[in-house]
Amino acid sequence: MVHRRADVVSRALDVLDRYGLADLTMRRLAAELSVQPSALYHHVPDKQTLLGLVADELLVRGARPLPGVDAPWDERVLATCAGLRESVLAYRDGAELVATVSAFGLGAHAPYDALVDALDTSGLPASLVPTAARTLLHFTYGHAVEEQTHLQAGSAGAIADGPREGSDFLAGLTLVVDGIRLRVGERSLSER
């Protein structure tokens, strides 16, 4: 059976969703493709790179139409973070995968770029835009990883824990970066 890189990546995403990140091994993936483990290295240089590609594929599949560039900046920011959260929660261990890949710079650059793009029209000084974008990603990933950990623990019965409010995501979140208020969800931005 002959495969291409895209087959390997989409099959890997499938394995991730069905068995989890810990079971997404090169050997498991190879077996799933009815191929020897070594054959994977014809399509991908190493596992690290593969995970980056899987994260990007996950994000592409979860992508929804975002507000246009003419929309208010805070709507764009909120839609980007909320969409990101929805995308990573849609796949088993998706939050951990994307957060890891992002931290190591192996992929998942699109959300950062989208945030920078939206923040560029916010009136926030350009020098603070990267910090603000990273702060929003920190919160979004951190929150999503925790949500997913508890959601999955609940369904697997691994951790016995109280129920979880799931709807507080970015609810009225305001970040102030160096004295600049950056409110998400209400479009206010005031200095000092």
Partner DNA sequence: ACCTGAACACCGTTCAAGT
Binding site for its own copies (CB under 8 A): 103-105, 131, 134-135, 137-139, 141-143, 145-146, 149, 159, 161, 165, 168, 171-181, 183
Give yes or no for a contact between 52 and 107, defined as CB atoms under 8 angstroms apart: yes
**Cβ closest to DNA, residue 18 vs residue 27:** 27
**Cβ closest to its own copies, residue 90 vs residue 176:** 176
Output the smallest distance, CB 168 to its own copies, in A. 6
Q: Cα–Cα distance between 59 and 84 in angstroms, integer?
A: 7
**Cβ closest to its own copies, residue 113 vs residue 146:** 146
Q: Cα–Cα distance between 36 and 57 in angstroms, integer?
A: 23
- Binding-site ranges for DNA (CB under 7 A): 1-4, 23, 25-28, 34-39, 41-43, 46-48
Output the smallest distance, CB 5 to DNA, in A. 8
Output the smallest distance, CB 20 to its own copies, in A. 13
Q: What sign for the dihedral angle of Cα 94, 96, 97, 99?
A: positive
Sort 188 into a burial class: Cβ within 10 Å, 0-12 / 13-18 / 19+. Answer: exposed
Output the smallest distance, CB 69 to its own copies, in A. 26
Nearest to 19 by CA among 11, 88, 87: 11
